[in-house]
Amino acid sequence: MKTNAGEAGDTVSSESQDEKNLIQTNVQNMGFAEADIGAEAVLSTIMSPHGKVVEITGDFDDAMKLAFEAKDIELTPEEDKKLVRKIDLCLFPLMSILYAVQFMDKTTNSNAAIMGLLKDLKMTGNQYTWVGSSFYFGYLLGLFILPPLLQKTKYFMKLLCAIIVVWGMVLALHSAPTVNYASFIFLRCLLGFFESAVTPAFTIITAQYWKKEEQFLRICIWFGFNGLGGIWGSGMAYGLYTRSDSYSIPAWKIVFITTGCITIFVGMLMAAHLPDSPQNAWFLTKREKLLLVQRIRGNQQGFGNHNIKKHQIIEALKDPRTWLYFLYSVAADIPNGGLTNFQSILIKGDFGFTTDKSLLVAMGMAAVEWVGLPVFGFASYYCSKKKIKYLEDRLVWSMISTSLVLIACCMLAYADKDRHARLGGLMLTYIAPVAFICVLANISANTLGYTKKWTVSSINLLAYAAANIAGPHTFIASQAPHYAGAKTALVVCYACAIVILLALYIINIRENKRRDKLQAAGQVAEIENMEFADLTDFENPYFRYTL
């Protein structure tokens, strides 16, 4: 039995109550909960994989507008390759550059710290620790405000680009002549507030344009551009520091001015180039938009829905995956918060490099991330294409990468007499984002329902922000320059992260097997265009979790 989700909600024809009850019972046995009775019976509810009645309302995904036109179009392999190549070329360069810029912006204070920032702002004791944490206090606040605004607006990209331009202005203001410690902390909070919009927005964009099996590789690439941001920022800081006597203001202030101006330029470029949504993408023809709808049907989700749905928020809070993502981000981002802010200080103090050499070493570390993350992404994609058992699962790759990082942290913490082993360990920690990317890809591919996706993404990033607030405080001033306590914290956190990833892997495998049994037993019937009904992963019986 195949019916049309786009017709749900039509008026029920008049029939006797006994006849209606009989038909309703028959439909329930097929996996549905209710049917409109008449010459053209139309299903308005469906039975979820958890045995609950789900109403299919008229509040559909934006992609439904194109779904009916696209249903008779066949997507050939040649057209599919051409389309995905076109999307990659038109979206990816600017997305990747922006992610490089946002990481460069985030780490400017780490480079500035060894260029005179601490001395000029008269920071003592643990005051610099609060500079690192203050960014994420603003980030936390932004997650409650900016993602809901981005979901509600139909001018998604324009709003995002306006936010980017404003944060560039805030970054440039870090160099103002009147800036002292208190005002610097305020500006870091403000910067974090605006930057909180980027990662959830990019997660949504990735789900709109690419198949779920393609998303991990794409996120590895644009997230890996953090490495380019690190190289860019450290290289610029090195050039300014070595010529610091040539400027009328301190070199660390020029770092903030330059990075702020670059951010503003990239934000304006994105506003002129990137579309608000796939259905009004200027670089796609009408036929290509219809083909895009066809190629993402397997995602069981479309372009998005602008109405905030309370039941999807509640479901997100009840979903155990939400809290596994949360716990993983706590475990993985306490180390991230510490290393992001203390990297240059650790290189200079623990390894004994001069300021200029510390900046050069930091560039080498960033290169590990820029190259390493896409390598893991391509390895996972290759194994998926070849159907290599277990290695085709991205969560397996996330556990492999986190195990390597755990070994690296042990090298950093316990190779006391071998500086090269400790430095090698510190460099290897730069592949740690592979597992975080896997979590982002899981949220993108495995969380259906537009409101639920925004909610789960925001909760995950709340943990990210809270952990990054706590991270710098593992670096205690009295333990400088080696920070033994912080290094031990790295080891413990990454060991916990592996256990959490394993739990997520197991829970997805078990649920997929349970749903396969339901479908094999004939308890799932087919509804046309149901993938664009904005159902959640709990509600959609056709959905399977990617591993």
| Spatial CA neighbour of 223 closest among 369, 334, 34 | 369
pTM of the model: 0.77
Please state, as a whole number, how many other Cβ atoms lie within 10 Å of the Cβ of residue 507: 14
pLDDT at site 404: 93
Q: Is the peptide bond preceding residue 481 cis, with omega within 30 degrees of 0?
A: yes
> What is the rounded CA–CA span in Å between residue 141 and residue 146?
9
8-state DSSP, 114: I
Neighbours of 416 (CB within 10 A): 10
Ranges in the chain, pLDDT < 70: 1-45, 51, 53-64, 66-68, 70, 298-305, 350, 522-531
d(CA 123, CA 345): 14
* Per-residue model confidence (pLDDT) at position 24: 39
Look up residue 1 and give its amino acid.
Answer: M
The position carrying tokens 């049309």 is 4
Rg (CA), the chain: 25
Q: What is the pLDDT of residues 402-454, one digit of tens each?
A: 999 999 889 888 877 777 888 888 888 888 888 888 888 888 888 888 889 88
Determine the pLDDT at residue 67: 65
- Distance, in Å, from the CA atom of 536 to the CA atom of 185, rounded to the nearest integer, reads 40
Handedness of CA 29, 30, 33, 35 (dihedral sign): negative
C-alpha distance across the termini of the chain, in Å: 30
CA distance 36 to 293: 28
Q: Are 458 and 369 in contact (CB under 8 A)?
A: no
With beta carbons less than 8 A apart as the criterion, state whether 172 and 250 touch.
no
At residue 319, the 3 state secondary structure works out as: coil
Secondary structure, 3-state, 116-138: HHHHHCCCCCCHHHHHHHHHHHH
Per-residue pLDDT, 239: 85
Upper half-sphere CA count for residue 294 (Cβ side, 13 Å) = 19
Whole-number pLDDT of residue 164: 93
Q: What's the pLDDT at 64?
A: 65
Q: Report how far residue 495's alpha carbon sits from residue 488's, in angstroms, rounded to the nearest whole number.
A: 11
All domains in the chain, ordered by first residue: 2-71+526-532 (no CATH), 77-520 (1.20.1250.20)
Residue with tokens 């610097």: 184
User: Quick one: which of 322, 323, 328, 331 has its CA closest to 456?
Assistant: 322
350-366 as b/e: b if 16+ CB within 10 A? bbebebeebbebbbebb
